[in-house]
Amino acid sequence: MKDTVRHMENTIKLLRKIWKFFYKEEEPDLRKVTEDEYFRTFIENSSEEKILKAYDVAWSAKNFEIENYWRRATYFWAFQVASFAAYFGVFSSSFYAKNTEVLYCVICIGFVTAFAWALINNGSKSWQRNWENHVDMLEDLVTGPLYKTVSVKDTFSVSKINEIVSYFITTIWLLLGAKYFMENITFSTTNNNGINWVVVGSTISVIYFTGAMWFGHGRGRFGKRTVEFNRRGEKNA
Give the pLDDT confidence of 77-94 residue by residue, as tens digits: 999 999 999 999 988 888
* pLDDT confidence of residue 138: 93
d(CA 55, CA 138): 6
Helix axes 100-138, 48-91, angle to 10 degrees: 160
**Which one-letter DSSP state was computed for residue 41?**
I
Taking CA atoms, 183 is separated from 86, 104, 176, 180, in Å, by 19, 11, 11, 5
Strands (E) in 21-109, as ranges, are none
d(CA 78, CA 121): 15
pLDDT, tens digit only, all 237 positions of the chain: 767 878 888 888 889 888 888 888 877 788 888 989 999 888 888 899 999 999 999 999 999 999 999 999 999 999 999 999 999 998 888 877 777 889 999 999 999 999 999 999 999 999 999 999 999 999 999 999 999 898 988 899 988 999 999 999 999 999 999 999 888 876 654 545 567 888 889 999 999 999 999 999 888 777 777 788 888 887 765
Q: Where are the domains of the chain?
A: 35-148+157-187+194-214
* pLDDT confidence of residue 104: 93
d(CA 186, CA 198): 15
d(CA 27, CA 96): 46
d(CA 76, CA 122): 14
176 Rama class: left (phi>0) / alpha (psi -120 to 50) / beta: alpha
